[in-house]
């Protein structure tokens, strides 16, 4: 919808805010309605064809919930689910504003705002509501090849969300299958944050035993345990002022979860072998390929920890759900590896692109990347053809076995064995994979294959 045709409702108990926004928008929008009392919201929404609501986060109203903005946001979404809502907040309430995105808000602005930015935000939301395609195709990072590319609608939604939450200190949980780009997204969020000039520290917590978990994250004093030959800071302290990225968070034990929760609640860490607590100031990003409905099982993961790490969640989609991005990704990797291996620039013929688009990509973007790298290395021509594209034998072998009737009995035995070992280790994938003689990646593929 064009802003000139839109009706905008502004709800704020500060008359100066109402006056300022009305003056700003009266020449931009079709109609601007102002209201001091949020209790009149329903009446105003029923009486007017409102396209967008600017809603304050805090009111001195009879509701008195402490976060009245969220209360009225829910009401607006109940009454008019399709109305766009932008929350107005003070800088000190940014965490609350980020929470409003999870409650259904489309965006938020921070007082004092830039007029041009507010108008641009309103226009973007109204265009998106009307289905006008945006031109953004990537979230970029400055650290090497860490651009996350995509023209698909699902990626556009992710880019929009990242642009809103990256500058805040909100804790973020990245969900998605292996190979979907969770590592790159974590790095990109850090580099778009206000902590970009501070450390970005990554830890694969799913691979840590209980002893290593404490030593790696919290640090230790010399002599704290047998191999502690010198003092060492933990990853929380290493990330001071910056971002701590905990990968494979869904695979840590309940005991490890309890220790992590204590640190996040107290915002202090104590090295092994000492009693001295150190204050920590970090932004936390976590990632897991475990689906949220499985994390919600308290026999596997503590709900109170989920709430701590999941102020905002971002679901990284598998490549099979963003087929329209395959061409742009393939050309990006082709350019990257042609440069890396000092090859002439390469492109794809129509049949090669069709082959790429027809494949299911169980290994997601990572599998596409390695497929293109291999093709560029082996290519004798500057045009890649279908025969140049050889998909991973690891993935295709699994697909073939899954469709082989002779393997049905064997598959049942394998599935039951996996279930028993995972149950034995209380859901710890790293330990289960070790006992089964598999890598974690191979075990995850089997979990997906058998729908475990």
pLDDT at 293: 83
Higher pLDDT, 324 or 429: 324
Statement to judge: residues 184 and 308 lie in one domain: yes
- As a whole number of angstroms, the distance between CA 422 and CA 445 comes to 14
Angstrom CA distances, 255 to 87, 215, 262, 273, stand at 39, 14, 11, 19
Is the pLDDT assigned to residue 394 strictly greater than 70? no
Statement to judge: residues 206 and 219 lie in one domain: yes
Is the pLDDT assigned to residue 169 strictly greater than 60? yes
Which residue range(s) make up the domain with 328? 319-353+364-391
Angstrom CA distances, 169 to 2, 119, 225, 280, stand at 33, 25, 35, 14
DSSP 114: P
Token pair, residue 347, equals 């492109």
The enclosing domain of 341 has a CATH number of 1.10.8.60
What pLDDT, in 10s, does the model give residues 56-86?
A: 988 765 554 547 888 899 999 999 988 999 9
Q: What is the pTM of this model?
A: 0.67
- Which of 288, 315, 342 is where one domain is finished? 315
Structural Rg of the chain based on CA atoms: 25
Percent of the chain with pLDDT over 70: 88
DSSP 163: H
* 3-state SS, residue 272: strand
Statement to judge: residues 180 and 267 lie in one domain: yes
Angstrom CA distances, 174 to 184, 211, 263, 325, stand at 11, 26, 20, 20
Q: What are phi and psi of 361, to 5 degrees?
A: 55, 65
Statement to judge: residues 78 and 19 lie in one domain: yes
Statement to judge: residues 299 and 168 lie in one domain: yes
Residue among 55, 79, 78, 77 nearest 67 (CA)? 55
- As a whole number of angstroms, the distance between CA 210 and CA 81 comes to 47
Statement to judge: residues 345 and 297 lie in one domain: no
Q: Is residue 120 part of a domain?
A: yes
Contact predicate 324/133, CB 8 Å: no
Q: Is residue 142 part of a domain?
A: no
Contact predicate 221/264, CB 8 Å: no
Q: Is residue 383 part of a domain?
A: yes
Q: Quick one: pLDDT band at residue 400, thresholds 50, 70, 90?
A: very low
Q: Is residue 140 part of a domain?
A: no
Statement to judge: residues 107 and 183 lie in one domain: no
DSSP lists the bridge partners of residue 435 as none
The enclosing domain of 276 has a CATH number of 3.40.50.300
Is the pLDDT assigned to residue 27 strictly greater than 80? yes
- As a whole number of angstroms, the distance between CA 206 and CA 272 comes to 20
Q: Which of 148-157, 282-291, 296-305 has the highest mean pLDDT?
A: 282-291
Average pLDDT over residues 16-26: 92
Q: Is residue 139 part of a domain?
A: no
Ranges of H-type helices in 379-428: 393-402, 408-424
Q: Is residue 256 part of a domain?
A: yes
Statement to judge: residues 404 and 341 lie in one domain: no
pLDDT at 157: 85
Statement to judge: residues 115 and 172 lie in one domain: no
What pLDDT, in 10s, does the model give residues 230-287?
A: 888 899 999 999 999 999 999 999 999 999 999 999 999 998 888 889 999 999 999 9
What pLDDT, in 10s, does the model give residues 106-118?
A: 888 888 888 988 9
- As a whole number of angstroms, the distance between CA 135 and CA 374 comes to 31
Token pair, residue 202, equals 């990554």
Statement to judge: residues 302 and 427 lie in one domain: no
Q: Is residue 297 part of a domain?
A: yes
- As a whole number of angstroms, the distance between CA 142 and CA 120 comes to 26
pLDDT at 156: 85
Statement to judge: residues 166 and 261 lie in one domain: yes
The enclosing domain of 422 has a CATH number of 1.10.10
What pLDDT, in 10s, does the model give residues 316-342?
A: 999 999 999 999 999 999 999 999 999
Q: Is residue 358 part of a domain?
A: no
Q: What's the total number of domains in the chain?
A: 4
Statement to judge: residues 325 and 406 lie in one domain: no
Owner of token pair 């940014």: 94
In this structure, are strands 7-11 and 52-56 parallel, antiparallel, or unpaired? parallel
């Amino acid at each position: 919808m064009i802003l000139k045709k839109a009706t905008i409702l502004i709800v704020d108990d500060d008359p100066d805010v109402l006056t300022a926004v009305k003056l700003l928008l009266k020449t931009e929008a079709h109609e601007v309605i102002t209201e001091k009392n949020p209790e009149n919201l329903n009446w105003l929404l029923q009486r007017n064809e409102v396209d967008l609501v600017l809603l304050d986060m805090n009111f001195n109203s009879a509701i008195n919930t402490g976060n009245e903005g969220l209360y009225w946001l829910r009401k607006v979404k109940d009454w008019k689910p399709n109305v766009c809502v932008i929350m107005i907040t003070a800088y000190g309430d940014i965490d609350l504003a980020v929470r409003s995105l999870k409650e259904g808000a489309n965006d938020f602005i921070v007082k004092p705002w830039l007029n041009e930015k507010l108008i641009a935000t309103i226009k973007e939301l109204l265009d998106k509501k009307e289905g006008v395609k945006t031109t953004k195709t990537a979230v970029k990072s400055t650290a090497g090849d860490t651009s996350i590319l995509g023209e698909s609608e699902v990626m556009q939604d992710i880019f929009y969300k990242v642009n809103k939450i990256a500058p805040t200190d909100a804790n973020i949980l990245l969900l998605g299958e292996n190979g979907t780009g969770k590592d790159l997204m974590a790095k990109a969020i850090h580099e778009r944050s206000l902590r970009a000039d501070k450390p970005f520290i990554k830890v694969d917590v799913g691979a840590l035993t209980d002893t290593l978990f404490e030593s790696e994250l919290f640090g230790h004093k010399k002599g704290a345990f047998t191999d502690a030959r010198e003092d060492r800071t933990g990853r929380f302290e290493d990330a001071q002022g910056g971002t701590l990225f905990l990968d494979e968070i869904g695979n840590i034990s309940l005991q490890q979860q309890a220790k992590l929760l204590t640190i996040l609640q107290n915002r202090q860490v104590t090295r092994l072998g000492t009693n001295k607590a150190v204050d920590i100031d970090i932004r936390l990003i976590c990632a897991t390929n475990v689906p949220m409905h499985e994390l919600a099982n308290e026999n596997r993961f503590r709900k109170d920890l989920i709430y701590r790490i999941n102020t905002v969640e971002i679901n990284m989609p598998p490549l099979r759900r963003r087929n329209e991005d395959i061409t742009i990704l393939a050309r990006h990797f082709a350019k990257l590896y042609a440069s890396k291996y000092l090859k002439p620039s390469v492109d794809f013929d129509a049949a090669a692109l069709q082959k790429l688009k027809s494949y299911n990509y169980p290994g997601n973007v990572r599998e596409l990347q390695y497929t293109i790298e291999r093709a560029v290395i082996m290519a004798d021509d500057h045009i890649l053809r279908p025969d140049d594209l050889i998909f991973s034998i690891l993935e295709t072998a699994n697909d073939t076995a899954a469709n082989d009737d002779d393997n049905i009995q064997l598959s049942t035995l394998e599935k039951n064995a996996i279930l028993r070992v995972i149950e034995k280790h209380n859901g710890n994938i790293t330990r289960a994979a070790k006992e089964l003689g598999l890598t974690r990646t191979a075990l995850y593929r089997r979990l997906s294959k058998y729908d475990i």
